[in-house]
Amino acid sequence: MIENNLLSIIIFAPLAGALINWLIGGRLRNEMFSGLVACGSIAISTVVAFYLAFFAHGGALFIKEPILDHIWTWINVGGFRADFALGMDPLSGIYACFITFVGLLIHIFATGYMKGDSGFYRFFAYLNLFMFAMLTLVLADNYLLMFVGWEGVGLCSYLLIGYYVKKNEAREAAKKAFVMNRIGDWGVLMGMFLIFTLTGSISFFDKTVDGEQVTSVFSFVLANMQAEPFTWGAIVAGGLTSVGVLMFIGATGKSAQIPLLTWLPDAMAGPTPVSALIHAATMVTAGVYLVVRSNAIYQLSPTAMWIIAVIGAATAIFAATIAIAQNDIKKVLAYSTVSQLGFMFLAAGVGAFVVAIFHVMTHAFFKALLFLGSGSVIHGMHHEQDMRKMGNLRKYMPITFITMFMGWLAIAGIPIWAGFFSKDEILYKTFAADKYFQNGYFPGNEILWVVAVITAILTAIYMTRMMVMTFWGTERYHDALPGEAHHNDLHAIDDDHAADHALHNDDDDEHHHALPHDFKPHESPWVMTVPLIILAFLSTVGGLIGIPYAMSSLPVVSSIVGKEANHFDRVLGPVVAEVDTPAAIKARENAKAHSPEAITTERWLAVLSVVLAAIGIAIGWFVFRISPLRKMPRILEEKWRLDEFYNGYIVDPLTRLSTVTLWKGFDLGFIDGIVNGIGSFVVALSSGVRRIQGGFVRSYAAFIIAGAVLVLGYFVYFGARLIG
């Protein structure tokens, strides 16, 4: 067992930063101080995380055993043990590295973006608190501590979405996010109870604590449990499949999958760095982490995996169709995130756990880039988010344009950019699910593949539309939107500081300002562009650490990177449990064999997907370059009216039931009716003796005491007589 106390620094540095900013930063109100504390604490975490992941004890990513750190025993009651203890294995190592690094860049970006905001210190306190919770989530060494982080990120997300407290949509969105997450949390809790009753443990790693041997959930499952049948009945049988489904309910909440997806787009009401950090790069991928972390359980529950794959694919295409019709630049990216998360779950569902994490990482790079880029655009446009009022920004914001261009290529799936390798792997693994799925048989994988391919085309189209509307075309900064002619005038009256966006009025809200007539967008300061450049670099080359064998074995490629270029797979491979069912063994052999047919198929599919991506970009370019304001189908613009459906069929009836039936009907009507009935009966009865009810407190007291003495005396007297 390798122990290293440095591990706790990774989580406690941001916590300390949060506390310092909250307690001292609030007094000082000095942006330099708050920014330095916030970024400094994350920088410490980043350095320690990379040191432990790559160097200490040979590097957590490269050694067989996890690095552990027991901090204190949290709950230990009657055989149930939950430690506050951390562990870093390749999975949590990768997560910790990209969370701290991307987090650091976003913190730096935010010091520029939030400049002049009166809640500056509060914003960074929350942001640091979020980092604490997120790192606790991924570094926790048991389900319960993971759940602490899981709820913690939910809370921080609530606080940060609602950061602009005066914005109505912000507070609505904050509540909605928290509640939808909570619905998912219910699943995680129940799953945790079930896994504990099945295995007697909630720990992720085998370890010795206080002289006590703790067996991990997964060792127990691998040693003692069998694969479950592929039936609907397995879901409610109370075995591993039930665990898998319950945990996945949690994942749908946190990672915004069908049916709990509507909170994420609304969450865009928060500041843009928050959208980049929480709602794109880190928190929303926690669901994928949970599934991959529990892969030993999932490999034995084919039904649960199949459900994950189907929900993932369905979410991917559903969100992509909505993204294509949104006009708010952040909404496009939000739906795009939901769609990409669907891809990750599709990968996990077909058993390609490593690929799912690969896509989590590349997505963290290019989606953080795109969000920060959009933040830079919004900053330059004086908080205008509607793409219909943008256009030709590449002239004014060249760095933002070029960096976002890289992100565009990455997400669309153009070779060598990061998104290409991860997405292509997902498509291939889905297509060939029968071969690599740990349970041998995967019904409907071809359909899922078609869905995924269509989604990939849609992705290229909506991203192109976004780029075209923002960076090309005519400058529409002063155009009134259809039906919103008065909108601007109202704002102009509202807002005394329209001319100077750095000087927010006392509202400290991110509402956009009416633009002066000589308005020209401007490029953002270096604290914002440098993180963009770094992320653009990572989005461009970050995928090269995971080049699949089918491509690295091409003579041209292997001469540069070598034949075994999938470093990512090599590092994360051990995370996937080696289940010893015949089907799983076969699947592993298939994956190692690299048969010529498989390689050929994978290469042709890669060619196909590049062609399709190019077609998507071409469609997007030709359609929206000509008419950027083309009206999109209304049903898509209104997000398939899912919110209306939820409100009409769940929220409103429940509120009505609570008010009319339960409260006014049962409580006030029925129970109190009985009580009051008895009451008025007694009153009527006692109206004869009204004279003694003088209404004086003293006489009430006297009566009560006298009554008590009488009752007591009676019992003392008769009781004594009875015993005699």
Partner 1 sequence: MEFISENLLTLLILLPVFGAIGLIAHQMFWKQEDHLKWVTLGITLLIFVLSLLLLNSGTASSAGFFFEKNVPWISAINTNYHVGVDGLSLWLVILTTFIMPIAILSTWHAVEKKPLGFYVFLLLLQSAMIGVFVSLDLLVFYLFFEASLVPMFFLIGIWGGANRIYAAVKFFIFTAIGSLLMLVAIISLYFLHAKATGVGTFDYVTLLGTISNGGLPFEPITGTLLFLAFALAFAIKVPLFPFHTWLPDAHTEAPTAGSVILAAVLLKMGTYGLMRFCFTLFPDQSRELAPIFIVLAIVGIIYGALVAMVQPDVKRLVAYSSVAHMGFVILGMFSFTEWGMQGALFTMLAHGVSTGALFLLVGFIYERRHTREISEFGGLANVMPIYATVFVITAMSSVGLPFLNGFVGEFMIMLGMWTSSALAVTATVNWNYIATMAAGTGVIFAAVYLLWMIQRVFFGKVTNEKNRGLSDLSPREIGLMVPLLFLMVYMGVYPRPFLDRSREAVVQIQERVIKQAGGTIDRADSMQPIAVEK
Asked whether 362 and 370 are in contact (CB, 8 A), the reply is: no
671 binds partner 1 (CB under 8 A): yes
226 binds partner 1 (CB under 8 A): yes
Taking the C-alpha atoms of residue 648 and residue 693, their distance in angstroms, rounded to an integer, is 54
Binding-site member from 4, 45, 199, 301 for partner 1 (CB under 8 A): 199
- Residue 463 CB, shortest distance to partner 1, in Å, is 34
DSSP-based three-state secondary structure for 392: coil
Contact code string over 504-543 relative to partner 1, x by CB under 8 A: ---x------------------------------------
Choose between 165 and 611: whose C-beta lies nearer to partner 1: 165
Q: What residues numbered 51-110 form the site for partner 1, per CB under 8 A?
A: 72-80
Binding-site member from 36, 47, 63, 189 for partner 1 (CB under 8 A): 189
Of 199-207, 276-284, 310-318, 541-549, which part binds partner 1 (CB under 8 A)? 199-207
* Pairing relationship of beta strands 2-3 and 67-77 according to DSSP bridges: parallel
Quick one: 97 exposed, middle or buried, by C-beta within 10 A (0-12, 13-18, 19+)?
buried
- Residue 114 CB, shortest distance to partner 1, in Å, is 18
Question: Which residues fall within 8 angstroms of residue 698, CB to CB, at 6 or more apart?
Answer: none
Q: Can you give the three-state secondary structure of 111-133, one letter per residue?
A: HHHCCCCCCHHHHHHHHHHHHHH
Binding-site member from 40, 200, 440, 574 for partner 1 (CB under 8 A): 200
Amino acid sitting at position 547: I
Amino acid sitting at position 311: I
Q: What is the side-by-side order of every strand in the sheet holding 80-88?
A: 2-3, 67-77, 80-88
Q: How far is CA 208 from the centre of its chain?
A: 32
Taking the C-alpha atoms of residue 380 and residue 451, their distance in angstroms, rounded to an integer, is 37
596 binds partner 1 (CB under 8 A): no
235 binds partner 1 (CB under 8 A): no
Question: Which residues fall within 8 angstroms of residue 235, CB to CB, at 6 or more apart?
Answer: 241, 242, 245, 303, 304
- Residue 420 CB, shortest distance to partner 1, in Å, is 39
144 binds partner 1 (CB under 8 A): yes
595 binds partner 1 (CB under 8 A): no
Count interface residues toward partner 1 (CB under 8 A).
Answer: 74
Taking the C-alpha atoms of residue 181 and residue 190, their distance in angstroms, rounded to an integer, is 14
19 binds partner 1 (CB under 8 A): no
647 binds partner 1 (CB under 8 A): no
- Residue 545 CB, shortest distance to partner 1, in Å, is 35
Nearest to 364 by CA among 45, 7, 106: 106
250 binds partner 1 (CB under 8 A): no
Choose between 171 and 501: whose C-beta lies nearer to partner 1: 171
Nearest to 372 by CA among 720, 104, 700: 104
Binding-site member from 1, 416, 499, 662 for partner 1 (CB under 8 A): 662
Q: How many CB atoms lie within 10 A of CB 607?
A: 11
DSSP-based three-state secondary structure for 207: strand
645 binds partner 1 (CB under 8 A): no
Q: What residues numbered 146-175 form the site for partner 1, per CB under 8 A?
A: 147-148, 151-152, 155, 158, 162, 165-166, 168, 170-172, 174-175
494 binds partner 1 (CB under 8 A): no
624 binds partner 1 (CB under 8 A): no
Binding-site member from 2, 19, 36, 183 for partner 1 (CB under 8 A): 183
646 binds partner 1 (CB under 8 A): no
Asked whether 445 and 433 are in contact (CB, 8 A), the reply is: yes
32 binds partner 1 (CB under 8 A): no
Of 6-14, 373-381, 468-476, 657-665, which part binds partner 1 (CB under 8 A)? 657-665
